[in-house]
Amino acid sequence: MSQSVMTMLKNGQQYMKTWPVRKELYAFFPECRVVSATKFAIKTMPPAAMVSCALLYQNLGADYLPQTITIGAFFLSLPMQGLLWLGHRSDQYLPPQLKSWYQEIHSKMRTQGVSVSTAKSKPKYRELAQLLKTAFNDLDNAFTKHWFN
């Protein structure tokens, strides 16, 4: 089940796009916080790296160039760390409690007439993300409030 770094980054991007960042899910899953932080880091860390490197180089000079590059690389690595975590998490199997919850929501959605893919016998977090995204997008608020309030 070992993945390459590039595969994990791609899976992390896909998982970040799939996971529904909703206030109802913040208390139950760390994905909401990680997705929000990663999106923020993708926007802000490249400019922060450039500004910090420029200021350090201007104030300390070429003698501290290795330290300046290291600080810039650190800022640039923060979004990648979030994507790697998300990529790793998306490939993990659900624990037994979440697995039964996933199957219960899946069967309820089927009875409501929502077209969902067949339920997996060993679902992973990426299947849960897809199911939750479908639930929040296709079902009315009464159904989702029943499950998350």
pLDDT at residue 89 above 90? Answer: yes
Which of 91, 112, 138 is the last residue before a domain boundary? 91
CB half-sphere exposure, 29, CA atoms < 13 A: 24
| 89 close to 18: Cβ distance less than 8 angstroms | no
- Residue 1 pLDDT more than 60? no
Q: Answer whether residue 90 shows pLDDT above 90.
A: yes
Mean pLDDT of the chain: 90
Full residue range of the structural domain in which residue 29 is found = 1-91
Which residue is associated with the tokens 């079902």? 139
For the chain, the 3-state helix, strand and coil shares in percent, each to the nearest 5, are 75, 0, 25
Same domain, yes or no, for 4 and 41? yes
* Whether residues 22 and 85 fall in one domain: yes
Do 19 and 71 belong together in one domain? Answer: yes
| Shared domain check, 37 and 2 | yes
Tell me the residue ranges of DSSP E strands in the chain: none
Looking at the fold, whether 4 and 48 belong to one and the same domain comes out as yes
Phi-psi label, residue 145: left if phi above 0, alpha if psi -120 to 50, beta otherwise: alpha
- Which residues are within 8 A (CB) of 39 and not within 5 positions of it... i.e. 6 or more apart? 16
43 lies in the same domain as 57 = yes
Number of structural domains, the chain? 2
Average pLDDT estimate for 61-65: 94
Of the residues 71, 91, 111, the one at which a domain ends: 91
Residues 85 and 131 in one domain: no
Q: Which of 91, 113, 138 is the last residue of a domain?
A: 91
Exposure letters 114-125 (e unless 16+ CB within 10 A, then b) = bebeeebeebeb
pTM of the model: 0.85
Q: Are residues 73 and 3 in the same domain?
A: yes
118-128 confidence digits (pLDDT tens): 888 899 999 99
Are residue 87 and residue 99 in the same domain, yes or no? no
Report whether pLDDT(10) > 80: yes
For residues 74 and 10, membership in a common domain is answered with: yes
Whether residues 79 and 6 fall in one domain: yes
For 130-145, how does the pLDDT look when each residue is reduced to its tens digit (9 = 90+)? 999 988 887 765 566 6
Residues 61 and 4 both lie in one domain: yes
Question: H/E element holding 121?
Answer: none
